[in-house]
């Protein structure tokens, strides 16, 4: 069978996108997901997204990591919004459903502004933190992130017994300006460093924002720039959390499955 796909990237986090409104993709066939995401034997991507109809929302985003596991993906969701606009399903504004619940988004020029789910708390231990932004994120503040062994340390923390059995994503965060951090992420489900992680930078922005009394944080990643603004605080929790950044179609094609 031939599958029509589109390839998107959001700050270098890349995704295979499939318009599955006719429900022709078998979402139980995880070997197929893994093959399509494979950079040697398939299209190659950090994850795969199906866009499906939903009776109560503009669309539903079904997200898979490259290994076939499922979670919430912030950059993927921004790309799914851009793809849904390309397909003509939505205009500039949308309400859609993802694995962690409903989301809203607005397209402003080449950027997608995505409303994330509320975050109830930040757990901390020294320079390490844990935040769930729809996906689990360990945050570690470091001094020289460009020189940090992200893969080795990230893998250790990702498989630490305290996160078993699900594991966690791991973000290494260096403050570089009064209102800006540089973030590098080891992603669960990709099992490697990715160029950017939307739920991860959101978690990093909340940690940095609380420490520095900021409600808007700029973020640099190896794949480009994002920003996060939010309301709330560490005692009452966080709401109106917006993840903002570019989302771009890079190519499309057909692949035999
Ligand atoms: N790249 C994503 C996060 C995808 C999910 C993550 N790998 C997990 O399994 O928790 C993002 O942009 O948020």
- Secondary structure letter of residue 119 according to DSSP: B
Residue with the two structure tokens 């708390």 = 121
Distance CA 218, CA 144 (A): 18
Domains of the chain: 2-116+247-256 (3.10.310.10), 123-237 (3.10.310.10)
How many other β-carbons are positioned within 10 Å of the β-carbon of residue 85? Answer: 18
Q: Could you identify the atom of ligand 1 that is nearest to the CA of residue 72?
A: 5
Q: Any idea how long the chain is?
A: 257
Instruction: With 0.90 as the threshold, say if the pTM is over it.
Output: yes
CA of 74 to the centre of ligand 1 (A): 7
CA of 28 to the centre of ligand 1 (A): 19
Pocket of ligand 1 (CB under 6 A): 13, 65, 69, 71, 73-76, 135, 169, 187-189, 197-199
Q: Does this complex have an ipTM over 0.95?
A: yes
- Answer for the pair 85, 60: CB distance below 8 angstroms, yes or no: no
The region that residue 224 occupies, defined by phi over 0 for left and psi between -120 and 50 for alpha, beta otherwise, is: left
- Active site includes 197? yes
- Active site includes 73? yes
For residue 233, the cross-strand partners are 237
Pick from 126, 113, 66, 145: nearest CA to 230: 113
Residue 35 φ then ψ, to 5°: -70, -45
Residue with the two structure tokens 């020189």 = 147
- Answer for the pair 134, 140: CB distance below 8 angstroms, yes or no: no
Distance CA 135, CA 44 (A): 22
Angle (CA) 141-143-222 rounded to 5° is: 80
- Answer for the pair 194, 187: CB distance below 8 angstroms, yes or no: yes
Q: What is the pLDDT along the chain (257 residues), one digit of tens a residue?
A: 899 999 999 999 999 999 999 999 999 999 999 999 999 999 999 999 999 999 999 999 999 999 999 999 999 999 999 999 999 999 999 999 999 999 999 999 999 999 999 999 999 999 899 999 999 999 999 999 999 999 999 999 999 999 999 999 999 999 999 999 999 999 999 999 999 999 999 999 999 999 999 999 999 999 999 999 999 999 999 999 999 999 999 999 999 98
- Answer for the pair 31, 257: CB distance below 8 angstroms, yes or no: no
């Amino acid at each position: 069978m031939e599958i029509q796909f589109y390839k998107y990237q959001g700050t270098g986090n890349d995704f295979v996108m499939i318009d599955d409104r006719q429900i022709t993709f078998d979402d139980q066939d995880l070997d197929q997901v893994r093959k399509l995401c494979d950079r040697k034997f398939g299209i190659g991507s950090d994850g795969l997204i199906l866009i499906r109809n939903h009776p109560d929302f503009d669309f539903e985003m079904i997200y898979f990591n490259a290994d076939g596991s499922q979670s919430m993906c912030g950059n993927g969701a921004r790309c799914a919004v851009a793809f849904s606009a390309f397909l003509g399903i939505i205009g500039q504004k949308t309400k859609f459903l993802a694995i962690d619940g409903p989301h809203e988004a607005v397209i402003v020029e080449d950027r997608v502004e995505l409303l994330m789910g509320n975050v109830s708390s930040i757990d901390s231990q020294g320079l390490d933190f844990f935040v769930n932004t729809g996906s689990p994120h360990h945050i570690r503040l470091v001094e020289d992130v460009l020189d940090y062994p992200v893969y080795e340390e990230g893998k250790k923390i990702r498989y630490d017994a305290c996160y078993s059995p699900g594991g966690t994503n791991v973000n290494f965060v260096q403050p570089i300006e009064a209102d800006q951090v540089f973030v590098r992420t080891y992603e669960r489900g990709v099992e490697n460093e990715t160029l950017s992680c939307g739920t991860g930078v959101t978690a990093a922005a909340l940690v940095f924002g609380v420490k520095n009394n900021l409600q808007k944080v700029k973020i640099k990643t190896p794949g480009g720039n994002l920003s996060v603004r939010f309301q709330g605080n560490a005692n009452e929790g966080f709401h109106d959390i917006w993840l903002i950044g570019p989302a771009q179609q890079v190519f499309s094609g057909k692949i035999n499955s």
